[in-house]
Chain A
Amino acid sequence: MRVNFTVNGRPQQADDVWEGESLLYVLRERLGLPGSKNACEQGECGSCTVRLDGVPVCSCLVAAGQVEGREVVTVEGLAEYARQRAEGGSCASGACGTTLDEAKGWSARGAGPQTGEGAPSPRAALSPVQQAFIDAGAVQCGFCTPGLLVAADEMLERNPSPTDEDIREALSGNLCRCTGYEKILDAVRLAAARQERQGEAV
């Protein structure tokens, strides 16, 4: 079957999709967006978390056919999503108003073999939560990181000043096997503090 939907503001079409395929498979294997991770494929780890019409979901449990006409934001689009939210207020629809040209410029990264020197393209500097994960040492193997970032970013959108228990609850669907979570808590606190400071400065 054919599926048309929007990913990170950009219209996408996938052809010859087997009806049993998940959104996760389509993103990773058909659209060249492997940032969402395939750790358990049973909704028990959160590594594949994306936003579907603004709502965090496990993309492994969304049938590809169910996303027809809908908006998806993945970790690859998180920085841009956060940037537009900061500039233009909330963006819960997931559409974010990215123009097609912008989207094309953005998506040129990550297709084909990477040549990068680890530097992000200037268009998409890191979102506060992405930067905080690096700074706080919340990344080790990094396999859980994309899902955690999408979940943490969404929590901070809803709850800019979370308590530790709020953070724990919001991230309780994202397993990490490397860090023991302490640095992840640090990172989310750091992102919240930085956002707060940014907000005060405006």
Chain B
Amino acid sequence: MDFLRPASWEEALAAKAEHPTAVPIAGGTDVMVEINFDHRRPEYLLDLNRVELLGEWEVGEEDVRLGASVPYTRIMEHLRAELPGLALASHTVASPQIRNRGGVGGNLGTASPAGDAHPALLAAGAEVEVESVRGTRFIPIDAFFTGVKRNALQPDELIKTIHVKKADGPQQYSKVGTRNAMVIAVCAFGIALHPETRTVRTGIGSAAPTPVRAREAEEFLNAALEEGGFWDSGRIITPSIAKQFADLASAACNPIDDVRGTARYRRHAVGIMARRTLGWTWEQYRGGARTLEGAA
């Protein structure tokens, strides 16, 4: 095993081009577990801790440009207004120690269906900026996850920046685990209201081979809200609309039975979370979106 320590982004890209099998390591929260338990012996470890730009973020007009290694703790502390869904999701990640090291880039790199950030990114809308010595690509988050623990990266590419749409409305995030802290998702649900476009987007975690959006649920809800004039009136969403939304969210799942939970439970729980988070965000919207911050 070789340990590569690039001092800059350019050096990191060059190293990845030279050693496409190199495993990037930043927070170490996935890679080191695999090494400690002898599940993985990469030929090269590519340490990204020295690449400063990966730890930086910038709040722009339209979006937040989030460095791949910005720790979850920073997102919780500094980006609650701009990225409330992701801040809430960050708060559910593992433990304080892990949140101090891990970041969204690593979550995307591992591309686990249970990754906590994914549903929030799907709901908010995001693009993943990846780069190699060959150039830069912007991969829409909807096209990023290609299979169980697989993503759209080429072997020589590294994740540089996640461009997440700034919240233009309330966002929420819920995750079920069988413990009240430090738990991997049995399933998770993210929702973002986008009043500017009068749309709602969603994300489901750990209930399908990849993180997915509940597209039919979104389409149904977008239509129902539009037809009922809810965006203008700010009326309470009727229980039947909420139920239909929840049922469609459940239907968007394609879960498995595993040691963390049954498929039936996952489908059921996603529906409950969909209904509840819709209720919370809509209440916030009706309340004039006094604050877009989540409870994180």
Contact = CB atoms under 8 A, between A and B. Distances in A.
Contacts of A20: 1, 35, 41, 45
Interface residues of B, number: 28
Interface string B14-31: 000000000001011101
B286 to A, nearest CB: 28
Interface string B77-112: 000000000000000001111101100000000000
B33 A19 contact: no
A75 B67 CA distance: 32
Interface in B232-255: none
B1 A19 contact: yes
Interface string B267-281: 000000000000000
Contact of A66 (B2, B41, B47, B100): B47
A65 interface: yes
A46 B101 CA distance: 13
B154 interface: no
B3 A65 contact: yes
B95 A43 contact: yes
A173 B97 contact: yes
A61 B33 contact: yes
A60 B95 CA distance: 14
A61 B101 contact: yes
A61 B95 CA distance: 13
B194 interface: no
B100 A19 contact: no
Contacts of B182: 44, 172-173
Given A1-B3, A18-B1, A61 B100 contact: no
A66 B97 contact: no
Contacts of B25: 63, 66
A22, A55, A63, A66 — which one has the most chain B CB atoms within 10 A of its CB? Answer: A66
Interface in B33-75: 33, 35-37, 41, 45, 47, 49
A19 B3 contact: yes
A60 to B, nearest CB: 6
A42 B182 CA distance: 12
Interface in A56-73: 56-58, 60-63, 65-66, 68
Contacts of B33: 41-43, 61
Contact of B47 (A18, A55, A57, A63): A63
A61 B32 contact: yes
A49 interface: yes
Nearest to B48: A66
A176 interface: no
A42 to B, nearest CB: 5
A19 B180 CA distance: 35
B3 A173 contact: no
A98 to B, nearest CB: 23
A19 B41 CA distance: 10
A60 B37 CA distance: 11
B5 interface: yes
Nearest to B44: A19
B181 interface: yes
Given A22-B36, A173-B181, A173-B182, A151 B96 contact: yes
Interface of A: 1, 18-20, 22, 41-44, 46, 49, 55-58, 60-63, 65-66, 68, 151, 169-170, 172-174
Interface of B: 1-3, 5, 25, 27-29, 31-33, 35-37, 41, 45, 47, 49, 94-98, 100-101, 180-182
12 contacts: A20-B35, A22-B32, A41-B36, A43-B95, A43-B97, A49-B97, A56-B97, A56-B100, A62-B101, A151-B97, A169-B181, A172-B180
